[in-house]
Amino acid sequence: MKHVRRPPPPPTLTPLELLGAPELAALDLLHHAVHVVGLALIAQYPHLLGDDYGRVRHDGDVVAELAERLLRRAGALDDVIGRYRQAVANAQRPDNDDDLPF
């Protein structure tokens, strides 16, 4: 499993954002939970970081294989959370084109 650089954490939610999209509170918690799970799995299975060539070997350890799958899916979930949050932010942004006189 290759090491992927993650984007910076999302900014802290504001009360106005939560008024417009209260589900962001739960998604923010989920984002942090995904991060903590990733840290815990790496701590338990440091070989998931891969060798010098990025290769991960489980040597038949079924739990480690599942941990690697969980890390991959957690990363994908985290990406979707970020995209959802951006989409909500874009939808809440006022559309300045409506004020044009033509």
- Domain extent, residue 53, equals 24-93
pTM, two decimal places? 0.73
pLDDT digits (tens, 9 = 90+) for 61-93: 899 999 999 999 999 999 999 999 999 989 988
Would you say residue 13 lies in a domain? Answer: no
Would you say residue 4 lies in a domain? Answer: no
Of 9, 7, 11, whose CA–CA distance to 89 is shortest?
A: 11
Q: Domain count for the chain, please give it.
A: 1
Would you say residue 5 lies in a domain? Answer: no
Would you say residue 55 lies in a domain? Answer: yes
Would you say residue 77 lies in a domain? Answer: yes
Would you say residue 100 lies in a domain? Answer: no
Report residue 1's pLDDT band, with 50, 70 and 90 as the boundaries. very low
Would you say residue 70 lies in a domain? Answer: yes
Would you say residue 10 lies in a domain? Answer: no
